[in-house]
Amino acid sequence: MSDPTPPRLPRLSPSVAAVRHGVRSVVSEAARTGSSDRPAVIVVAFSGGADSTALLRAALFEAADLPLRVIAVSVDHGLQAGSDAVAAAAAERALAWGAHEAIVERVSVGTEGGMEAAARTARYEALDRVAAEHAAVAILLGHTFDDQAETVLLGLTRGSGPHSIRGMPAADGLYRRPLLNVRRENTRAACDAESAEFWDDPHNTNNDFTRVRIRNTVLPMLEAELGPGVASALVRTARLVSDDDDALDNFAEAIVDDVAASRDGHLAIPVATIADQPRAIRSRVIRLCAGRAFGASMSLVHTDAIDALVTDWRGQKPLNVPGGNVERHGGHLVFTPA
């Protein structure tokens, strides 16, 4: 007589469940743009590290029964000996796990802004290029909760205002960051639970990089001195600042859209429109106008100087700022590109 008790399924690792839960809504949303005869395409940035390994495997699991093609993209920055072999091995693993395609993009990293920034620029350009070639509807990145905390702390050290401490958005154009609520320890645990091989980048322990020092020295020191929860407080701060920053940005954009006028290549805005606005709004209006007129980003020093044309008018001469000139003329702030 056979045993009527069905076999017990193996227990799903909480870490695997957490990663899959983070990815599920992004994958489902992407799949809704496809059909059985024309599946949608998503690109997964896959370095081969623990975060991107957990991300790719979760995306493949969630996409298994959906009209969706998953393309893994490994970017070879050429900054370490053997980087080509690391990228090739990552691509092989991606195909073995069920990726519909695995692409290795070799890039040339410049020097502008330092190696970290230049590598990031080259990487995003490569991902954008693959996404465009395959008409992808989303690009998935493996940034975690801990990456977000490090980003906020790094922004605080730069003193660049709310834009620098709002952290990384969960969605930005095609880009999606579905693991921002998942701790880094969970991505590694998810890989271990599924016996998924991953690569530990030596750069992640190189203290020559600012982000590595924040990760391995600064944040642990803050947790030790101030108690646990510093990373969570930083991420919570980013969410609150992001909401406020968006509201102020939207208000400033509405003012510029409503009253700014383009005349003979100049962009002009009535001084009276912004004179009584809070400084947070005036500064945003100034930066928006400069961006639209010059395509340039204004520093705090330049923003303050332009703001003085509104709040402390004493007949100042036109200001020479990056990308052009700004002057007060006939009751207007006039932005003239160089």
When pLDDT is averaged across residues 232-257 and rounded to a whole number, the result is 93
Tell me if 86 sits within 8 A of 53, measured CB to CB.
Answer: no
Nearest Cα neighbor of 89 from 54, 49, 62 is 49
- The single residue listed with the structure tokens 């007060």 is 328
- Say whether pLDDT at 203 is over 90: no
Q: What is the pLDDT of residue 6?
A: 64
pLDDT digits (tens, 9 = 90+) for 76-135: 888 788 888 999 999 999 999 999 999 999 988 877 777 778 888 899 999 999 999 999
Mean of the per-residue pLDDT values for the chain?
91
Tell me if 91 sits within 8 A of 74, measured CB to CB.
Answer: yes
Q: What is the pLDDT of residue 311?
A: 94
| Domains within the chain, CATH numbers bracketed | 14-226 (3.40.50.620), 260-337 (3.30.465)
Least confident of 4-8, 66-70, 98-102, 278-282: 4-8
- Say whether pLDDT at 283 is over 90: yes
With a pLDDT cut of 90, the percent of the chain lying above it is: 73
3-state SS track over the chain: CCCCCCCCCCCCCHHHHHHHHHHHHHHHHHHCCCCCCCCEEEEEECCCCHHHHHHHHHHHHHHCCCCEEEEEEEEECCCCCCHHHHHHHHHHHHHHCCCCEEEEEECCCCCCCCHHHHHHHHHHHHHHHHHHHCCCCEEECCCCHHHHHHHHHHHHHHCCCHHHHCCCCCEECCEECCCCCCCHHHHHHHHHHCCCCCCCCHHHHCCCCHHHHHHHHHHHHHHHHHCCCHHHHHHHHHHHHHHHHHHHHHHHHHHHHHHCEEECCEEEEEHHHHCCCCHHHHHHHHHHHHHHHHCCCCCHHHHHHHHHHHHCCCCCCCEEECCEEEEEECCEEEEEEC
When pLDDT is averaged across residues 188-194 and rounded to a whole number, the result is 97
Q: What is the pLDDT of residue 142?
A: 97
> What is the model's pTM?
0.85
State how far Cα 193 lies from the chain centre. 28
